[in-house]
Amino acid sequence: MDIEIRAATAADWPQIHEFFADIVADGETYAYPDDLTSDEAAALWMQDHVVVAVDGVTVLGSAKMGPNRPGRGSHVGTASFMVSPAARGRGVGRLLGEYCVTWHREQGFAAIQFNAVVETNTAAMALWTSLGFRVIGTVPGAFRSRRHGYVGLCVMHLPLS
């Protein structure tokens, strides 16, 4: 396994943006605005703590993480993940997910909450479940999947203390 996870830098963005744009356009996993420019997408992704999974100079995936809410909700973290379609099947999502759980523990968060896991995203649902997350509830029809139509968005949760 020669995949490394490290903090992202501005120099990583062009590679992140390539799969970010593909994944959003694919229409199965993220409710980002349509037709984002690269700068607009960077403003949404490159915030809080952002990491990349790299194989040498190639960015295979990225995750962003930080408090889910400010103020009286800031003890619960959240995260978003994207893996380059070209890198699927190499365990990149699991590495990023495990990193995310460790990072939140080290930072002293009480829990991690995912606000909107698309219920038809079976890879993500299985990965988060295997890491100990459970579905708190599913908002019916809250996501317009390109292939499946209206599907649910799951709120998932992992207590850390």
> Which residues lie near a second copy (CB under 8 A)?
24, 27, 30-34, 68-76, 110-111, 113, 115-116, 135-145, 150, 153, 155, 157, 159
Nearest to 82 by CA among 1, 159, 25: 25
Q: How far is the CB of 81 from a second copy (least distance, A)?
A: 17
| Residues 148, 154, 155: CA angle, nearest 5 degrees | 160
Cβ–Cβ < 8 Å for 99, 65: no
Q: Which of 60/143 has CB closer to a second copy?
A: 143
Q: Which of 15/78 has CB closer to a second copy?
A: 78
Q: How far is the CB of 71 from a second copy (least distance, A)?
A: 5
Separation of alpha carbons 64 and 137, rounded Å: 23
- Identify the H or E element spanning 21: helix 13-26
Q: Which of 33/89 has CB closer to a second copy?
A: 33
> How many residues are recorded in the chain?
161
Half-sphere exposure of 122 toward its Cβ, with a 13 Å CA cutoff?
Answer: 1
Q: How far is the CB of 72 from a second copy (least distance, A)?
A: 4
Q: Which of 9/107 has CB closer to a second copy?
A: 107
Query: Which residue type is seen at 119?
Result: E
Q: How far is the CB of 89 from a second copy (least distance, A)?
A: 25
